């Protein structure tokens, strides 16, 4: 049997939050949507989901609006 490798959920969350703050050309909404989906699954399955907040100023963006995936998970 192969040994299992584990990683801290907090480490994944820090990495994902950093990806969601990116503004380069490769950090599209499609990319950030994938990061959110993966992170939410990890947080929910591990019992660590504590919500998120939007990082944009002003009104809360609606789905598919600019800034919708610019967020930080707790």
Q: Average per-residue pLDDT in the chain?
A: 92
Q: What is the DSSP string of the chain?
A: -PPP----HHHHHHHHHHHHT--STT--HHHHHHHHHHHHHHHHHTT----EEE-SSSSPPPTTSTTTT-EEE-
Could you tell me the residue ranges of all domains in the chain? 9-73
Partnered with residue 53 across adjacent β-strands are 72
With a cut of 80, say whether residue 1 has pLDDT above it: no
pLDDT in the model for residue 65: 86
pLDDT in the model for residue 16: 98
Could you give the CA distance from residue 55 to residue 40 in angstroms, rounded to a whole number? 17
With a cut of 80, say whether residue 14 has pLDDT above it: yes
With a cut of 80, say whether residue 39 has pLDDT above it: yes
Dihedral Cα 12, 33, 19, 28, nearest 10 deg: 160
- The mean pLDDT of 17-34, rounded to a whole number, is 96
pLDDT in the model for residue 56: 81
């Amino acid at each position: 049997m192969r040994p299992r490798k584990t990683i801290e959920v907090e480490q994944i969350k820090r990495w994902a939050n950093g990806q969601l703050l990116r503004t380069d050309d490769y950090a599209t909404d499609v990319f950030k949507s994938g990061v959110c989906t993966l992170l939410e699954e990890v947080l929910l399955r591990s019992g660590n989901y504590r919500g998120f907040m939007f990082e944009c100023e002003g009104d809360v963006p609606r789905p598919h609006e600019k800034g919708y995936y610019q967020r930080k998970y707790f």
